[in-house]
Amino acid sequence: MKKIIFIIVLALAAGPALAKKKPVMPSERAVYHNNQGISYLNMNDLDRAEFEFKTAIELSPDYAEAYNNIGVVYKTKGQFEQAVIYFKRVIEIDKNYASAYNHLGATYLAQGKVDEAIKKINKAIRKQPTSADAYYNLAVCYLEKTRRDPSKSYVKFSEAYFKKATELNPNLKIVHTELAQMYRTLGDYEHAVIRYRLALEDDPHDISTWLKLGNLYLEMKEPFKAQNTFLKAVEINPDSAEAHQQLGLFYHNEGRNEDSLTEFEEVIKLQPISEAAYYKVGTINLNMGNYEKAMASLKQAMEINPNFADASYNLGLVYIKSGQTNEAIRQWEHTLIIDSKHARTLYNLGNTYNYVGEKKKSAEKLCKFISLGVKELVAETETAKRIVLSGGGCP
């Protein structure tokens, strides 16, 4: 629901005065405080914005716009019940104030009251047919209805309302990204790319959209375009840990370990407490045979997050590959304390116990592994069954 809040705030700053209001003239001083509140709201200083809007109301008790703006503040804070009170008050003052109906509908949507939200937003559109924000919110409502009941798809409604929103306001970037995501989910990659590109025309420096486009190219099996897109994100903001991480993941999947390592080390510089980055650096070094470096990075990942089961498992692999069998056993037993159903740990630990001659412990671990029925580990399951059968079967 944050996206809805974002677009509403933009609309507020751009033109709440477009709504049709009764000719209730607030005092000049009330208008001043309302405008001050809008400035604070655009800076996300919600407490000061709330104070200024309430001051405006104190000066002009029937100032509909100020009530509307306080409602937006409460909605942005997640205080939905309070927001509803203020939006309803706006409607009491001026039944033709379209923005209040739209905001009220968006608030109902945030509360999960989708059908009520649709009714209010439709009313906003009847009051103000040129409201791009209202069409956007209506489209999101129908996406939510589809999410709740996929058997009754409302995607076509969402698509139509998103497109209407962009017709009314071609520079509404968030609508382009929502349409792109919807097309992506439907497998309509061509139109998804078009919408991401339109969003980037509106905001060429939006890192998140560049990264989404890069991941879309990966789904489309176009790695060259994906790489260029991730590189573009890093070029735009070299201090974006997320951009370096996505580029690192790309290189890792392409088998370019050195390049991947460089990117994840950059992530660590930017985010020294990134357990995921330390894990990736450790895993890449493990794959490259740099066991001391792998051990140091994986231990750091676990220091940041002691319950990081995959890091603990890979640390066990480091010990095994370094010839430290007993350390590997201890590490994997610790992994199972973190996650008793960690399949690869159960399999490797069972195999290791079998190797050192502890058949009972081996059967215990391997039987539990077999019981998990992990489809991705078919070959390992067959190996586990042979080892267990050779020892007389599961207990």
Q: For residue range 221-270, list pLDDT tens digits in order.
A: 999 999 999 999 999 999 999 999 999 999 999 999 999 999 999 999 99
Q: Is residue 54 part of a domain?
A: yes
Average pLDDT over residues 290-310: 97
What the block records as the tokens of 161 is: 């309302």
Measured between alpha carbons, how far is 207 from 314 in angstroms, rounded to an integer?
32
Average pLDDT over residues 51-67: 96
pLDDT recorded at residue 21 = 43
Q: Within a 10 A sphere around the Cβ of 284, how many other Cβ atoms?
A: 22
Whether 175 and 158 share a structural domain: no
Inform me whether the pLDDT recorded for 15 exceeds 70: no
What total number of domains does the chain contain? 2
Place of tokens 């992506």: 184
Average pLDDT over residues 385-392: 89
User: E strands, the chain, where?
Assistant: none
Domain boundary residue, one of 164, 184, 208: 164
Whether 33 and 155 share a structural domain: yes
Whether 139 and 8 share a structural domain: yes
CATH number at residue 125: 1.25.40.10
Whether 96 and 160 share a structural domain: yes
Whether 51 and 197 share a structural domain: no
Between 158 and 171, whose confidence is greater?
Answer: 158
pLDDT tens digits, residue range 362-388? Answer: 999 999 999 999 999 999 999 999 999
Inform me whether the pLDDT recorded for 18 exceeds 70: no
Q: Is residue 86 part of a domain?
A: yes
Q: Is residue 211 part of a domain?
A: yes
Domain boundary residue, one of 229, 250, 271: 250
Contact 332, 313 (CB under 8 A): yes
Whether 125 and 178 share a structural domain: no
Inform me whether the pLDDT recorded for 70 exceeds 60: yes
Q: Is residue 65 part of a domain?
A: yes
Whether 113 and 54 share a structural domain: yes
Inform me whether the pLDDT recorded for 39 exceeds 50: yes
Average pLDDT over residues 196-223: 95
pLDDT recorded at residue 2 = 37
φ and ψ of 393, to 5 deg:
95, 180
Domain boundary residue, one of 124, 145, 164: 164
Provide CB contacts within 8 A for 290, sequence distance 6+.
none
Q: Is residue 367 part of a domain?
A: no
pLDDT recorded at residue 173 = 85
Whether 93 and 188 share a structural domain: no
pLDDT recorded at residue 153 = 83
Contact 335, 345 (CB under 8 A): yes
Q: Is residue 28 part of a domain?
A: yes
pLDDT recorded at residue 360 = 92
Whether 67 and 159 share a structural domain: yes
Whether 130 and 15 share a structural domain: yes
Closest CA to 341 of 309, 389, 304, 307: 309
Provide CB contacts within 8 A for 319, sequence distance 6+.
325, 327, 328, 331
pLDDT recorded at residue 24 = 62
Q: Is residue 383 part of a domain?
A: no
Between 219 and 2, whose confidence is greater?
Answer: 219
Mean pLDDT of all residues belonging to the chain: 91
Q: Is residue 226 part of a domain?
A: yes
b/e map of 13-41 (b: 16 or more CB within 10 Å)?
eeebeebebeeeebeeebbebbebbbebb
pLDDT recorded at residue 133 = 95
Whether 120 and 200 share a structural domain: no
Mutual angle of helices 173-186 and 207-219, in 10-degree steps: 20
What range defines the domain where residue 59 resides? 1-164
Q: What percent of the chain has pLDDT over 90?
A: 88
3-class SS of residue 239: coil
pLDDT recorded at residue 367 = 94
Whether 62 and 185 share a structural domain: no
